Amino acid sequence: MKKRIVVLKKGIDKAVGIESFCCFGGGFILAWR
């Protein structure tokens, strides 16, 4: 059967955590990982 789901973006791995915290309404990001 043909696969119906095409993954366009895998996104973040929850176990690793997110990449940034938001400062200044998004205008100033401190890289976290």
Partner 1 sequence: MKLSIYAKLYPSGEDRDSVVLFSTKRASAVLVPSALIKDIECGSLSEEEQETLFGLGLLARSDEEEKQEMLNFIQELNILNKTLIATVVLNLDCNLGCRYCFEGTRKGKLYLSDETADKFVDFLKISSDLSNKNEIKITFYGGEPLLSTERIASISEKILSFAGGKGLKYSFSLVTNGTLLTPGVVKRLALLGLKNAKVTLDGPKHIHDNFRPFKSGKGSFDVIVRNIKDACDKIHVEIGGNYTKDNYREFPRLLDYLLAEGLTPDKIPMIRFDPVVNENSAFALPDFSDGCNSSREPWLIDASLHLREEILKRGYRTQKITPAPCIVELFDSIMMDYDGALYKCPVLIGRKDYRVGDITTGLADYRESHALDNWKNEECLACAYLPLCFGGCRYMKLLQDGDINGINCRKEYFDRILAQLVSQDIKYDL
Q: How far is the CB of 16 from partner 1 (least distance, A)?
A: 8
Q: How far is the CB of 5 from partner 1 (least distance, A)?
A: 5
Q: How far is the CB of 2 from partner 1 (least distance, A)?
A: 10
State the greatest distance between any 2 C-alpha atoms of the chain, in Å, as a whole number: 48
What per-residue string of b and e applies to 2-21 under the rule 16 or more CB within 10 Å gives b? eeeeeeeeeeeeeeeeeeee
What residue ranges bind partner 1 (CB under 8 A)?
Answer: 1, 4-12, 14, 16-32
